[in-house]
Amino acid sequence: MSDDLVNYLKALPRFRGIGDTELLGLVRCVDVLEPMRPGKVLFEQGDPSDGAYIVRSGQLSVEVSMPDGSGRVVAHLGPGTMVGELCLIEDAPRALRVKAAVPTEVLRLDRERFDDLRRKGHSGAYKLIRSIALTVCDRLRNTNMQIEEKWQGGTTSTTEMEVVRIKKQPTAPGVRVSAWDKLRGLFGRD
């Protein structure tokens, strides 16, 4: 089973550059979860983070909660994609709801076992963290470009003005407010 998982992970872009021996260590952190039926929630917004999830087959819907209690789908994730990976860097509650859109199989990279591996100086853990950080940089760069494109188009919607207001929002000395926390205000969450 572990050889199968090593080969599967090795084929994924997120694990590129991580050697077989390093992957074998990471596989010890992986749980194969029961298949999910459509509509089954993987995690809710605000849930404690227990690990990162890799879509093995099927599709997950990523939703943000709206002020009226409904959810707005912001992404669909297919085979080979990872969701919830920021918990491997920072222990924080889930920012979004994720559920199965179709019958889906996922793997969980357990946060506690991963943290233990990282604390022991496992090079594969650090390579995966670097890969996650690069992905976050790409996402932020894309978001910045989308905001810039909207501004250059000459339209200033309420949402765009809110983004500017949030960016300029002062914080008290010593208080850490992430960009995600600030942007979450756009969707009615404090």
pLDDT in tens, 81-98: 999 999 999 989 999 999
**Residue 189 pLDDT greater than 50, yes or no:** no
Question: What pLDDT score was predicted for residue 183?
Answer: 52
Residues near 184 by Cβ (< 8 Å), separated by ≥ 6?
95, 190
Question: What pLDDT score was predicted for residue 136?
Answer: 87
Closest CA to 12 of 113, 99, 131: 131
Q: Summarize the confidence of residues 149-155 as an average pLDDT.
A: 70
Share of the chain above pLDDT 90, in %: 62
pLDDT in tens, 16-63: 999 999 999 999 999 999 999 999 999 999 999 999 999 999 999 999
**Residue 70 pLDDT greater than 90, yes or no:** no
What are the extents of the domains in the chain? 2-154, 156-190
Residues near 124 by Cβ (< 8 Å), separated by ≥ 6?
18, 19, 21, 22, 23, 25, 26, 117
Question: What pLDDT score was predicted for residue 6?
Answer: 95
| Of 41 and 151, the one with more pLDDT | 41
Q: Among 1-10, 45-54, 169-178, name the most confident range.
A: 45-54
Dist. CA 177–CA 50, nearest whole Å: 22
| Of 146 and 166, the one with more pLDDT | 146
> In the chain, what is the straight-line distance between the N-terminal and C-terminal CA atoms, in Å?
44
pTM (2 d.p.): 0.75
Question: What pLDDT score was predicted for residue 188?
Answer: 46
Across the chain, mean pLDDT equals 85
Q: Are strands 71-77 and 41-43 parallel, antiparallel or unpaired?
A: unpaired
Top-tier CATH class for 2-154: mainly beta
